[in-house]
Structure 1
């Protein structure tokens, strides 16, 4: 088993310049993709934990303003982003109906014009969250889709280089075998770089979809809370 590892390293070491360049590019891409993967895993774990902490405050605090004050001291989370933007829009609506008839004015507005203002505020919070959660995912997708073709290019180039000796009649299959082996290593490295990138890209998109569903439910709950606060 140890000998096989040494053989592979030896093959790479004695490969041509183009194949070495391709392998270096693929290895760098793989390292970068793993850095993105680890960073995103940490981010999603933190976001999920922050969501739980915010929802605990949200569900145990009755006053909307008090929730906002507590939220300002809390780290980023999707729920916080939605609540902050939704609450800011609600405050603006309240400022438009100052005085003794504030509640009746708000009730009249929402009854006749709907909850569009709050929904747009919540949508803004959702967009901010998605922008944060989706950072670097397109790069991960690019690595996953391009790496196999880069590896294939290295393979084709290596095979052409290996068989160029046979074209002149001055070589044998034993002579070109090492060249073919080094060329095929490029394909293997390309797949090794692409497979984790594609898998985790799909995984993170699945997590994003789940969080978007949870944000939608939270947004509806926030609107319900606002409606009840006006009716009371």
Structure 2
């Protein structure tokens, strides 16, 4: 080839139909993975902001009911999910012991522990994890599958190139374009996979941090409930 210039678009344009299909799938997977990445980045940013807003209400409210009322219109946040589920269980317990003032409730907690509230908090944590983990398995699948799809395109392109050589092409110039288009498939596969894998690990790291924060908040909520019952 004269000029020996690498023209990726020209290589793709003149590639075989199978390689074009592979490249199309890889580009579609890459676009979809970036859509997931941008959506999750927005979600985690909103979660952090909403947690801060809820915690301000939590610290500056007079009582547990006041927190519930003030935070009712706040958007989704892990702290709110935990608090809402924990508070609902507390209200049910208070209703069950409504004829005994607070002594019956205090007796229950002293003898049976905080298992009811802990299960409520666990439910809130599960709801949060379901929301935060949406689409992450898809991102992981894109990161793990696309290199192999690209490799398939590469192998197919090389087979096609050497089939032409076996048919009497004769020179390296005859097979070079086919090998080049085959290697483009590998490059596109890696370009799709690397961001997907990196952001999957990044988002999982954020999830672990959020879960640690939820655990601390849940313990604090239980402490507040214990103090309010004793009083």
Matched residues in 2 for 1:203 and 1:229: separation?
A: 39
Task: Give the alignment of 1:104-119 within 5 angstroms.
Answer: 104-119=103-118
Match of 1:18 in 2: 18
Match of 1:58 in 2: 58
Match of 2:129 in 1: 130
Count of paired positions: 229
Match of 1:31 in 2: 31
Matched residues in 1 for 2:212 and 2:67: separation?
A: 22
Deviation at 1:167, TM superposition (A): 2.0
Deviation at 1:6, TM superposition (A): 7.1
Whether 1:47 aligns to 2:44 is no
TM-score (norm 2): 0.97
Match of 1:171 in 2: 170
Deviation at 1:4, TM superposition (A): 9.7
Task: Give the alignment of 1:79-90 within 5 angstroms.
Answer: 79-90=79-90
Please give the root-mean-square deviation of Cα atoms over the aligned residues, in Å: 1.4
Secondary structure of 1:76's counterpart equals: coil
Matched residues in 2 for 1:170 and 1:114: separation?
A: 82
Match of 1:208 in 2: 207
Any idea what the Cα deviations from partners look like across 1:152-211, whole Å, max 9, x if unmatched? 000000000000022233432110000000000000000000000000000000000000
Secondary structure of 2:122's counterpart equals: helix
Matched residues in 2 for 1:225 and 1:25: separation?
A: 54
Matched residues in 1 for 2:88 and 2:164: separation?
A: 73
Structure 2: tracts of 5 or more residues without a match = none
Match of 2:188 in 1: 189
Match of 2:150 in 1: 151
Matched residues in 1 for 2:5 and 2:19: separation?
A: 18
Given the superposition, is the C-alpha separation of residues 126 and 143 from structure 1 closer, same or farther in structure 2, using an over 3 Å criterion?
same
Moved over 4 A (4+): 3-6
Given the superposition, is the C-alpha separation of residues 116 and 5 from structure 1 closer, same or farther in structure 2, using an over 3 Å criterion?
farther
Matched residues in 1 for 2:129 and 2:105: separation?
A: 30
Deviation at 1:62, TM superposition (A): 2.4
Matched residues in 2 for 1:121 and 1:4: separation?
A: 68
Secondary structure of 1:75's counterpart equals: coil
Matched residues in 1 for 2:142 and 2:13: separation?
A: 24
Given the superposition, is the C-alpha separation of residues 25 and 208 from structure 1 closer, same or farther in structure 2, using an over 3 Å criterion?
same
Deviation at 1:138, TM superposition (A): 0.4
Match of 1:120 in 2: 119
Given the superposition, is the C-alpha separation of residues 170 and 5 from structure 1 closer, same or farther in structure 2, using an over 3 Å criterion?
closer
Secondary structure of 1:43's counterpart equals: helix
